[in-house]
Every structure is written in structure tokens, then in C-alpha cells.
Amino acid sequence: MMLKVKPPDGYPPEEGRYVRGNDYSPVAVCVILDTFDFAIPPELNELVMVGTDSGAALSGMLQTENIGIEKIICNIVANSNIRYIVLCGRESSGHLPGEALLALKQNGVDDTKRIIGSRALTPYLYNIPTELIDRFNQQIVSIINLLCKPGERDIKVPGLNPNVIEEAVRSCYQESPAIFMGYTLYDMGAYPEPAIVHKIVAKLNQTQQAVEPGKSKMSMGLVLHKLLPKTDCQKCDKKTCLAFAIDLAKGKCRLEDCPFLDQPEFAENRRALAKLLE
Ligand code: SF4
């Protein structure tokens, strides 16, 4: 008989932009949020709701390649019934959180807790123990990857299509194996080890700490630099992008001085830079 377990008190330990559904479901839905909080596209909200309506245990949004993934890990290892993640939405070109989640499942983390193989800016899981990361990777048997490319607008493509997300979720809780877009899915029951309820204490990752008030302009400059084009083209009259970033932090130049930041592919980075400079 298939093993299912009642999630412990304290599940789900981390708050966030997600909805709790059926605690005994084997699947969670992760929708990439590729915009800032104040402008959540309605089609992404709909995907989250479709997740729980279709029977997922948790369905929510992932925005960042560090703290966002840490929260997902905490909430999933606190419910041993969850064995699959349906990953959908559009990849965020700024944070690459979808790619980071896939790389985590495939490769794990190195000794510095950096997600191996991720191309994101700061894919570090500093705030949770390695044992939790290992447990997540063992408990989750498969991430069903429906992730769309950044900027995708066609809501008929699988990763933005509510009907496809619904089918993916339903496939995960079939008693007999179901084939869905090349994945063989079925409800295999709970992970055999007890759930772990772990709450993140340090809410800030190292990058965020670097921009806390009182930190040096140099630290701030290093954070800003990560979001610049990094071509060192000197069109801003600075010798390097790093010099530009440090002067930005000091208020000696403006975002408008880098012409590349007006281009569509840097729109999200520019908004992030503006937010950091507020
Ligand atoms: S113009 Fe932009 S890309 Fe070129 S060096 Fe300055 S900051 Fe870097």
C-alpha cells in the first residue's frame, strides 16, 4: 500500500508567495516570477491557482536564485509526500532562478554552497544546512521542466498554458505510470524518512547584506556591478563597468550614462539597479 504521511506541525515553515493545497499530493508547482513584486502578470497568478486547483500540495512563485530556492527547499522537505516539482513560467533573465533550481537538482552544491553549474549571479544557499539540500535532492525524484525562455508572451506554450500545467500535476498523482511530455510520472508515495521542519533564521543572503545601510560604497558598487553589462566599453566615460558601478554607488554618475541599460534585454537589470539605488 502506498505510504502517505501527515505533514508535521509547523508545515510549511516558510512564508512566501504560494498557496497551500492538498497536503497529501506528490507534487508542487513552481512558477517563475520574472518581474518585480508590484507588477505580477495576471497569467502567472493564474498558473499558481491552477496548481492547487489541479491538486498540488503547494503552488507558488520563485523569484530569486538564492533565498527563493532556500524557502522552496524548507517547505518541501517539511512534507515528505512531495516528490515532484512542475517548473513553469518564463525564465527571469536577471536571476535565472529556474535554471538554478534545475542545476541544483542535477548537480547539488559545492563546498561554498554555490549551486554547481548555475549561471545566475549569486546562486548561493548560505542560509540552510547542506543536509537539507541533500535531502531535497533525494526526496524530489524529478523536476518537470516546462520553463519558457525569458520574455515569452505566447500563453499557448506549455510553460504558460494552464491546461498543460493541470495535466502535468494530474499526471504526478496517477497510481499507474503516466507518460507526460517524455516524463514517466506516478504517485510513488512519501519519501521514507521523516519530514524536516527547518526555518531560515538569517533572512538575508550575503549579497543582500552587502547593501544594508552602513556598508561601504565599495560593497554597494560590487553588488551594482553584477547587474551591469560588463563589457567595459567605456561609453559611460569610465574605464570599466566596475568603476561605473562604484561611482553610481557614490552618486557621481547616473544609470542613464550607460546606454546599454536602455536596451530591452537589460530592462530587468535596470529596474533592479534603480531599486538598489533608491
Ligand atoms: S557604458 Fe555601460 S557597459 Fe560600457 S563600461 Fe560603462 S557601464 Fe560598462
- Report all structural domains of the chain as residue ranges with CATH numbers, in order of start: 18-185 (3.40.50), 211-277 (1.10.15.40)
pLDDT tens per residue across span 167-191: 999 999 999 999 999 999 999 999 9
Which band of pLDDT confidence, cut at 50, 70 and 90, is reported for residue 274? Answer: confident
Helices and strands (DSSP H and E) totals, the chain: 9, 7
Residue 213 has pLDDT above 60, yes or no: no
Sign of CA pseudo-dihedral 262, 264, 266, 270: positive
| Residue whose CA lies nearest to ligand 1 atom number 6 | 236
At residue 216, the pLDDT reads 65
Q: Is the pLDDT of residue 20 over 90?
A: yes
Residue with CA at minimum distance from ligand 1 atom 8: 241
Ligand 1 contacts CB of residue 258 (under 6 A): yes
CA nearest 75: which of 3, 10, 123, 25? Answer: 10
Ligand 1 atom at minimal distance to the Cα of residue 259: 1
The percent of residues in the chain predicted with pLDDT above 90, rounded, is: 72
Residue 133: CB within 6 Å of ligand 1?
no
Work out the average pLDDT over 61-79. 96
Ligand 1 contacts CB of residue 218 (under 6 A): no
pTM beyond cutoff 0.75? no
Q: pLDDT tens digit string along 114-130?
A: 999 999 988 999 999 99
